Each structure stands twice: as structure tokens, then as C-alpha cells.
Structure 1
Amino acid sequence: MPHMPPMQAWHVHQTGEPREVMRLEESVRPEPGEGQVLLKVRAASVNFPDALLCRGQYQVRPPLPFTPGVEICATAEDGRRVLTTCALPHGGFAEYALADAAALLPAPDALDDAEAAALHIAYQTGWFGLHRRARLRPGETLLVHAAAGGVGSAAVQLGKAAGARVIGVVGGPAKAETARALGCDLVIDRHSDDVVATVKQATEGRGADVVYDPVGGDAYTWSTKCVAFEGRIVVVGFSSGSIPSPALGHALVKNYSILGLHWGLYAARAPQTILECHGQLTALAEKGAIKPLVSDRVPLAAAVDAVQRVADGTTTGRVCVLPGLPSGNGTGAADGAGA
């Protein structure tokens, strides 16, 4: 086998805060295992799970050292432009990454590399949450927590594309501006507004038909107080760090549903549904109904700062790492006060 030139990759040798444990190092290109392929990374989207991986708090704990970066747009060895989730421990914050060959999806032509990288996890999660789990219908009211963040912004766009009235909850004026630009019909600043009272007023006391909650904690509590009769609360994650304990008696007397969503499980249990969803997302992207909000594109050398900002909740939309971008380049700082 010919000698392969080295590459640059971020490695985590011990768990902790991203800024403390991520190290940019020269290493050999990873060798694909059975059913895997080597990919040249074009763009890696920074997700909250990347921060959890660094902290050792994610449900998947790859062996140390590992390279974080769970989703990428990349070039396959046969020249195809693809998007996929990475096969850890060889994640996307590197010049080359590994993925399962069966997990490769064609990158939509309507999206650039960063947008394509940001399409996969958040939009698939949003699609499964809103359509397969909550059965969102045109004309219904959708309440999205952290509406200016990477996960929430996808749900906002998908909700609007489905014909729903979308109410977005954010933290701070800058995030509120972003949520309005995304298409929210009403934006609530949790720092200054009463979330429950505002939702009830906006819906003439009925409440939200579907709630999309990637936050947990107080956001979940507010949701139970302003969900409509026969409403559905989709539990997507717990970026607040607080996992609520549902009051099932309350769900019973108010007649609402609590729906869990673990998107990754579909790959194992119903992989065909992911392909079908990607087809739907590609069609929406081609006609301009959805377009991932990429607020910052940074070079590989700046990945640690990007992951830390996502961990701290100070970003809007998605921050993407582009290994081909020269150091010192970047577009659009993504700041704000919590999604």
C-alpha cells in the first residue's frame, strides 16, 4: 500500500470543555473498516453533540483519542459530493473522515458545502419530529424553542413549509431578529416576555398544537402550560442540561401527548425512512422552501472556538468548519444570548 501523506485533525485525548481538551495535530489518514469509506471533508457542521462528546456526556462514547465532528459534506473517492454522519472516532473536524458507505446521501445541488453539511441531522430530526411523530397539519400552531439555533431554525423552516403558524422562543434581541428573518409569525424573548401568557394570548387561549423542544428544563415546563387540547410535545433534546420529569397526571387531565424523538434510531430500525426523508428535504431545498442558516464559516484551525461557542449557547443557526478555508478567514460572527 502506498504511503499516504499526513493530515490535520482535531483530537480529544481526555474529556472536558472543548477549549481545554481539543488539540489540532498532524496524524495519518484513517483506514476504512469493513463497510466504511474514506471521505475528503468539504465542510463539517458543528452540533451540540460535538460539545457533549468532548465532555464525555454523549450517549456514544468513542475511544480516546477521537476526532469530533458528527456531520459533514464531503467528496467520496469516486468523486461524488455527499453528506453523511461520521463513523467515530474518525469525525469531521479533520481533512479526512470515515463514514459507513450505506450512510452516504447525495448533497443537494441547491446548497453549498456548508449548507449541505448543516442539512442532515437538524433537518432530518425536524422532519421526523414534525411529520412522522407529531403529524403536523397545515393551519396548526407550532411552538419552537431555541428557534434561532441550529436545531430550532430547521424546525421553523420545516414548520412554515408545512403550512403551520410558527411561534419561536429565543433568548435576547439578536436571536429574536434571526427568528423573524427565518419566518416565525411570532417571536417570544424568554428573557423579557412571559412565554406561557404570550402563547395563550396569540392562540386565543387554545395553546400550541405542536411543541418542538430541544431545550428541556424550563422550556418543557412552559410547554406543558401552553399546549393545546390534543397537542403534541416533541422531546428532541436537553441543551439546557436539565432533563425534566414529566408529570403524567398533568398529561392525562390536559389530554396532550409527550413524544420522544431519537433520530439516530431510525438508521438502525428503519433505514429506508432516512432515504425517503432526504428525498423530501432535497425537493424542499431545490424549490427554496428550506435553506440551512449558516451564520459562520471558519477554517479548520478555528474549530475549537466554534465548538466552544456552540457549547456555550452563543451561536445562531449553524457554524461550519471548512478545512479548505485559509486560516484567518471566516464570515459572520454568530453571537447572541442563548438560543
Structure 2
Amino acid sequence: MQAWRVHRNGEPGEVMSLEDTGRPEPGEGQVLLRVRAANVNFPDALLCRGQYQMTPPLPFTPGVELCGETEDGRRVIATPALPYGGFAEYAVADVAAVLPAPDSLDDAEAAALHIGYQTGWFGLHRRAHLQEGETLLVHAASGGVGSAAVQLGKAAGARVIGVVGGPEKTAVARGIGCDLVIDRYADDIVAAVKDATGGRGADVVYDPVGGDAYVKSAKCVAFEGRIVVVGFASGSIPSPALNHALVKNYSIVGLHWGLYGRQDPRAVLRCHETLTGLAAKGLIKPVVSDLVPLESAAEAVQRVADGTTTGRLVVLPGGAEV
């Protein structure tokens, strides 16, 4: 089979190589999956760089999220068990990490449902307790993670303000339902949020960016607001001023979704059932901006790493048979 492999750490476009290799052998408690579609995530770039929370042994195949098919013909979604990731014709996953793919979504959409929407749901509901009628501020609202949070916020009855960079991303954010879109290149984020909320600020801030985005968030979060720290796509990890959180009476809430798989796996299953129901009603649908062949996977990961994309890039391996 063909698989992308990383033999040394560095930029995805430089260290990912497409190779012919044997099918991976699933271990105890694992299953072999034929990859139907594999979503590109920012963690794939971090894995290539050696900067992710976990460091699989070299060489490994990136691709942390996929829609696949089991040997008995079931269509599923899964987070593969590295080093046998999704940018290949076949991958391996722990049985416990395999979930039924929603019938309402095609392969590419299903491949992009799991991580981004689970992260969004846990962040907004379990950690921030978003309420109907509240104002939600989403950074990088046109991206894969941000667009999921926008859709989930709208499904919860929140007013959603999206922050993006540039006219193209502004159009995408409007198209997925943002009530207000702020272009960080042209607008004053703090002033725009306060103006839109009558000076109150955002009740919940969803921040997968970090850096300056977090700094601006702290200046426009509402009384008893919650800032959900999801990641640091900017590459800059902020140092919160805790005295500021004290005097303004807001919460800084961390979210590491991967911990739920180990600490509370039933919650992940319940969330999947909720997301499946929302997808069936048309309330959420992954924004797939581009489908790419397996041969272009390294380029796709680099594009996500460079922050030039909107929505999701999905790799379609094709050709594999169980």
C-alpha cells in the first residue's frame, strides 16, 4: 500500500514522504481500517515538527482523524493509533476509538466531524456552559476548528461573533452563520465586540489561536465570562495576568479534549450521539473546502500549518480494498 511517512522532524512539506509499504498489522484490541477519507488537522503539522503533546516513534504516518471501513464492511470514523495514521490506504485504530459514521454526512464530511466538533462541544458545553442567548466570540472562525464552534454555538442558540483574517475568510465566516464577523486585519477587535454587545463583552470566548488573540479576548470578555483555551495556532503561548481575571471576574478554562478518551470515554460516546443527531437535523456540517488526492497530502498539511486555509482539507486515498 501507499502511505506518507515521517522519518525526521521538520516542516510537513519537507519531511513527509510517500512510500510503498506493507499494510499495518493491528495489535490486540485494535482493528485494520481501509481509509475512505482523512481530514487534515493542525496537530498533523505539530506531529511532523515534533511539537505535539505526544511524540510517536519515527517513522510514523500522520493523519489523526479519518472515515474508514472495517474488514466486515462497517463505515466508521476514528482517531488512528499512531504510528499508523490516516494519510495512507490503510490505518490502525483502537477498537474503543471507532465510532459509527453518521449517515447524513459523506466520507469527507464524516472524516472532519470527530476532533473539531468534539472539541467544540466539550469546550462550549462541558467547560464553558454556554447558554442560549449568550454571546460567543470565536477566533479563527473560518478555519476547521473555529467553524465547528460557530455551528455549535448557533445550534445552542448563542449569538456568534467570528474573528478572521482577510476578506475571503470573512465571507466564509458569514456563510457558516456568524452574526457578526470581525476582520482582525482591518478592525479593532476589542472595540467591535464591545460595540456589538452594548459594552458588556463576550460571555464565552473560544480561542484556538493564543498569542494576541488571547490578549484581545481578555480585554473584551464579559462579567462572569469564560475564555476557553483550545490551542495555540499562532505559535505564541500567552501568560495570563491572573490579577486581571480577578478584578474583571472572568474564568480562564483549559480544554484538552484527548483526556476525555482516557478519563471519561462514555462522555465521548454521548457527545458523538449528540453530534450525530445535530448533523441529521442539518444543524452542523463540516465545511470541506478542498478534496485532495493522497499524492498531495504533504502539501495539504503544509497549507494548514501555514494558516492559509478555510474550512477543512480532506485527503481521499482511494484504491485500497479490504
- Report what 2:297 is aligned to: 303
Report whether the alignment pairs 1:92 with 2:86: yes
- Match for 1:121 among 109, 115, 122? 115
SS of 2:77's equivalent? strand
**2:97 maps to which residue?**
103
Rounded to whole Å, the distance in 2 between the matches of 1:37 and 1:16 is 30
Hey, what does 2:243 align to over in structure 1?
249
Match of 1:270 among 241, 264, 267: 264
Matched with 1:81 is 75
CA distance in 2, matches of 1:171, 1:89: 34
- Corresponding position of 1:24: 18
Amino acid at match of 1:204: G
One of 168, 188, 195 as aligned partner of 2:189: 195
Q: Equivalent residue of 1:157, what SS? A: helix
Cα distance in 1 for residues equivalent to 2:118 and 2:13? 29
Q: What displacement does 1:78 show? A: 1.3
Distance in 1 between the 2:186 and 2:215 partners? 17
CA distance in 2, matches of 1:195, 1:203: 12
Does residue 1:320 correspond to 2:314, yes or no?
Answer: yes
The residue number in structure 1 matching 2:276 is: 282
- What residue in structure 1 maps to residue 154 of structure 2? 160
CA distance in 2, matches of 1:12, 1:103: 23
Is contact 1:46–1:318 with CA below 8 Å preserved after alignment? yes
Determine if contact 1:108/1:116 at 8 Å carries over to the other structure. yes
Which SS does the other structure have where 1:82 is aligned?
A: strand
Q: Report the residue type matching 2:253 in the other structure.
A: L
Contact 1:300-1:325 at 8 Å conserved across structures: no
The count of residues paired between Structure 1 and Structure 2 equals 320
Task: Report whether the alignment pairs 1:216 with 2:210.
Answer: yes
Runs of 4+ more than 6 Å apart: none
2:141 corresponds in structure 1 to 147
Which amino acid in structure 2 is aligned with residue 55 of structure 1?
R
Asked if structure 1 preserves the Cα contact closer than 8 Å seen for 2:89 and 2:319, the reply is: no
Structure ranking higher on relative contact order (CA contacts 8 Å, 6+ apart): 2
Equivalent of 2:34, from 31, 40, 50?
40
**Mind listing any 5+ residue stretches in structure 2 that lack a counterpart?**
none
In the alignment, is the contact (CA less than 8 A) between 2:16 and 2:298 conserved in 1? yes
Amino acid at match of 2:289: S
Q: Which runs of 5+ in 1 are unaligned?
A: 1-6, 327-339
User: Which letter maps to 2:88?
Assistant: A
SS at match of 2:174: helix
* Structure 1 partner of 2:127: 133
Cα deviation 1:39-73 (Å, max 9, x = unaligned): 00000000000000001111110000000000000
SS at structure 2 position matched to 1:167: strand
Kindly provide the CA deviation profile for residues 201-241 of structure 1, in whole angstroms up to 9, marking residues without a partner as x: 00000000000000000000000000000000000000000
Do 2:37 and 2:66's aligned partners in 1 also have CA atoms closer than 8 Å?
Answer: yes
Contact 2:45 2:301 in 1 (8 A): yes
Q: Percent identity?
A: 78
Instruction: Verify the 8 A CA contact 1:299 1:325 in the aligned structure 2.
Output: no
Which amino acid letter does the alignment assign opposite residue 248 of structure 2? Answer: K
User: What TM-score comes out, normalization by structure 1 length?
Assistant: 0.94
Give the Å deviation of 1:325. 7.8
Instruction: Provide the secondary structure at the position in 2 that maps to 1:25.
Output: strand
Query: What is the alpha-carbon root mean square deviation over aligned residues?
Result: 0.9
Between the aligned partners of 2:106 and 2:233, the Cα distance in structure 1 is: 27
Letter in 2 for 1:209: D
User: Does the CA contact (< 8 Å) of 2:164 and 2:181 recur in 1?
Assistant: yes
Shift of 1:77: 1.1
Q: Give the whole-Å Cα distance in 2 for the aligned partners of 1:176 and 1:184.
A: 10
Q: Distance in 1 between matches of 2:267 and 2:96?
A: 13
TM-fit CA distance, 1:162 = 0.3
Separation (CA, whole Å) in 2 of partners of 1:149 and 1:31? 34
Structure 2: distance between partners of 1:132 and 1:84? 22
